[in-house]
């Protein structure tokens, strides 16, 4: 029974797809299928149910996954500990990060990190979905606030997020300026849809209480950068994190609205599984960004 066959089975069981598992492991689909067949023949059991549309573990497959995953984690930890004796962290760190955090908090410091840790590789995947980072093979994830599983360890990456309501001078000249959050009901708002399908709610503080509304408007986008462009072009009123709006407000392309009612959102946090042993490469990544936060 080959170690590689066990790894191949775990990859397919986790991704529920031979194609995705093959891409992840850098092998061909037929090679991966053969590895799983080898394992099934060795055990004399079917481990995966296969149809033209889906792959899922059988009862035996689920049991094998539950027993193998902790063992593989121990093996990987052992290898990481031995490698750490070289004095230089090494390995790959995979992180799932929504685009705003990746663009403004992570990417500006990536060159310095790679220069400081020449034996560490980074795989930073822009993704706003709420995912199980362990099941999808990530070492860590980034999300707003503490919206993550209870068995995760979290560390803030910055300060609470300030969100601005903005519009172009041209739009305001044509439609007037809202003076209260309720006035937005009569305006064209540029909306953002999350990967889950949910429309991003707008939150305000009105007389000490939270006021939440789902804006109405004819334009829906899923990328904040496109929302900025649309707002500058006069397509409507937008609500965006300040790091997107600030340069355009300073240049006069956008005007801040409803500042009296502004509310903040929790800071971005990086989170990772609670383990007995954190791999040196991941520890280096966490310590590097913790140092940036402390200096800031």
Identify the bridge partners of residue 192 per DSSP, sorted by sequence position.
221
φ, ψ of residue 70 to 5 degrees: the values are: -65, -35
In this prediction, residue 158 carries a pLDDT of 83
Domains and CATH numbers, the chain: 3-85 (1.10.10.10), 88-295 (3.40.190.290)
Share of residues in the chain with pLDDT > 90 (%): 53
Per-residue pLDDT of 107-138, as tens digits, reads 999 999 999 999 999 999 998 888 888 878 89
Tokens of 296: 């800031």
In this prediction, residue 87 carries a pLDDT of 66
pLDDT value at 257 more than 80: yes
Spatial CA neighbour of 261 closest among 213, 196, 219, 198 = 213
* Of 40-44, 48-52, 160-164, 237-241, the least confident: 48-52
In this prediction, residue 79 carries a pLDDT of 73
User: Cα–Cα distance between 202 and 272 in angstroms, integer?
Assistant: 29
Question: Which of 19-23, 71-75, 129-133, 214-218 shows the highest mean pLDDT?
Answer: 214-218
Mean pLDDT of 95-113: 93
CB 47 within 8 A of CB 36: yes
φ, ψ of residue 147 to 5 degrees: the values are: -80, 75
Spatial CA neighbour of 185 closest among 174, 196, 175, 170 = 175
Identify the bridge partners of residue 165 per DSSP, sorted by sequence position.
239, 257
Degrees to nearest 5, angle at CA 179 with 174 and 180: 125
In this prediction, residue 274 carries a pLDDT of 73
Work out the number of other CB atoms within 10 angstroms of the CB of residue 236.
22
Tokens of 182: 């309720």
pLDDT value at 149 more than 70: no
In this prediction, residue 133 carries a pLDDT of 87
User: Cα–Cα distance between 222 and 215 in angstroms, integer?
Assistant: 15
In this prediction, residue 76 carries a pLDDT of 74
User: Cα–Cα distance between 166 and 253 in angstroms, integer?
Assistant: 10
Work out the number of other CB atoms within 10 angstroms of the CB of residue 65.
15
Identify the bridge partners of residue 269 per DSSP, sorted by sequence position.
143, 156
pLDDT value at 146 more than 80: no
Per-residue pLDDT of 41-75, as tens digits, reads 999 999 999 887 788 899 999 999 888 888 887 77
């Amino acid at each position: 029974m080959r170690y590689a066959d066990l790894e191949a089975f775990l990859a397919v069981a986790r991704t529920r797809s031979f194609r995705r598992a093959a891409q992840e492991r850098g092998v061909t689909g037929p090679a991966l299928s053969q590895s799983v067949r080898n394992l099934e023949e060795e055990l004399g059991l079917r481990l995966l149910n296969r149809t033209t549309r889906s792959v899922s573990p059988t009862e035996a497959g689920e049991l094998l996954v539950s027993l193998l995953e902790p063992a593989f984690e121990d093996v990987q930890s052992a290898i990481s500990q031995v490698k750490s004796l070289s004095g230089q962290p090494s390995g790959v760190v995979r992180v799932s990060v929504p685009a705003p955090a990746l663009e403004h908090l992570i990417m500006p410091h990536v060159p310095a990190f790679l220069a400081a840790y020449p034996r560490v590789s980074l795989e930073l995947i822009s993704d706003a979905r709420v995912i199980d980072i362990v099941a999808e093979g990530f070492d860590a994830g980034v999300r707003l606030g503490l919206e993550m599983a209870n068995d995760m360890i979290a560390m803030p990456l910055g300060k609470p997020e300030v969100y601005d309501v903005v519009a172009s001078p041209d739009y305001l000249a044509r439609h007037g300026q809202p003076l209260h959050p309720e006035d937005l009901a009569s305006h064209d708002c540029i909306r953002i849809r999350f990967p889950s399908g949910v429309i991003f709610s707008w939150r305000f503080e009105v007389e000490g209480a939270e006021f939440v509304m789902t804006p109405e408007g004819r334009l829906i986008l899923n990328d904040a950068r496109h929302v900025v462009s649309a707002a500058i072009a006069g397509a409507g009123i937008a609500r965006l994190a300040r790091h997107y709006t600030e340069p355009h407000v300073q240049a006069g392309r956008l005007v801040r609205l409803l500042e009296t009612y502004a509310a903040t959102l929790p800071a971005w946090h990086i989170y990772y599984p609670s383990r007995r042993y954190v791999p040196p490469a991941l520890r280096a990544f966490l310590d590097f960004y913790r140092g940036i936060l402390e200096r800031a």
